[in-house]
Amino acid sequence: MSQAYDIKIAEAINTLKELIGDKALNVTLAFSHQSEDAINISLAQKAGIDFDVFTLETHKLFDESLAYEKEIEAFFGVEIKRFSANDEQIKDLEAKVGEFGIFDDIDLRKECCHVRKLIPLARALKGYHGWISGIRIAQSITRSDTKLVEFDGKFELLKFNPLTHFSDEDVERYMTEFAIPQNSLYAKGFKSIGCKPCTRAISEGEDIRAGRWWWENPEHKECGLHLHKEK
């Protein structure tokens, strides 16, 4: 158990060092207010690579997540660049979706993710050779084919997933071992963190992604950022 954990950390650091650092690639790291993102910053610093950090300001985030951004900037000494859709795009979206559209119609829910997340993500990734994400195979059935390194055909750059083989326990252990601050939502029963209207706390024994878009079929529970194929 202990050896496997150490091997996974070495694998993650070597991936970042050899495929990004040694090749002097220009990369940016996604921060989505979760422990995985903080671990990636820690691993990237251990690997000694140069990297930027960005987050998507959807204007639907929890106050706890906004506070966590500041905490992580101070803890690691990094600047998190914020990207969002423009005012007109948000206004048009709100007129179209209304108050409950994301719950009533999956196409409207996807439209909301498209405007609030995918449009700014395209801007955040522009000009980079690759991006670093915190997705893991263990997180959900939609992530079962995650690889350590893959080509992101949607945005046409490399995508590095250093935590591909990390279990939930590995994430907990790394956060504790290196005393990394956690988003305070975890202590309130949240296990996967996203926008306020689409994220809820879960009960003991529920799948960690059960609190995301809980009203939808499991195969649809993604916002489009990490899909290998459109569902």
Catalytic residue among 28, 223, 224, 230: 223
Q: Based on the shown chain and the rule CB under 6 A, indicate whether residue 34 belongs to the binding site for ligand SF4.
A: no
Is there a contact between 36 and 139 (Cβ–Cβ < 8 Å)?
no
User: How is 120-183 classified by DSSP, letter by letter?
Assistant: HHHHHHTT-SEEE----GGG-GGGTT--SEEEETTTTEEEE-TTTT--HHHHHHHHHHTT----
Q: Is 24 left (phi over 0), alpha (psi -120 to 50) or beta?
A: left
Least gap, CB of 219 to ligand SF4 (angstroms) = 16
Does 112 show up as a binding residue in the annotation? yes
- In the bound state with ligand SF4, the residue whose beta carbon lies nearer, of 15 and 58, is 58
Is 223 among the catalytic positions? Answer: yes
Single residue of 71, 90, 172, 197 touching ligand SF4 by CB under 6 A: 197
Q: Based on the shown chain and the rule CB under 6 A, indicate whether residue 223 belongs to the binding site for ligand SF4.
A: yes
Binding mask 75-104 for ligand SF4 (x = CB under 6 A): ---------------------------x--
Least gap, CB of 111 to ligand SF4 (angstroms) = 8
- In the bound state with ligand SF4, the residue whose beta carbon lies nearer, of 8 and 117, is 117
Q: Which residue is nearest to ligand SF4 (CB)?
A: 195
45's tokens:
């610093």
Is there a contact between 168 and 134 (Cβ–Cβ < 8 Å)?
no
Instruction: Find the helix packing angle between 168-177 and 35-47, rounded to 10°.
Output: 60
Q: Based on the shown chain and the rule CB under 6 A, indicate whether residue 60 belongs to the binding site for ligand SF4.
A: yes
Single residue of 8, 116, 143, 191 touching ligand SF4 by CB under 6 A: 116
Residues 6+ apart with CB under 8 A from 139: 192, 208, 209
Q: Give the type of residue at 130.
A: G
Residue 187: helix, strand or coil by DSSP? helix
Q: Based on the shown chain and the rule CB under 6 A, indicate whether residue 112 belongs to the binding site for ligand SF4.
A: yes
63-71, 83-91, 145-153, 191-199 -> range binding ligand SF4 (CB under 6 A): 191-199
Q: Based on the shown chain and the rule CB under 6 A, indicate whether residue 113 belongs to the binding site for ligand SF4.
A: yes
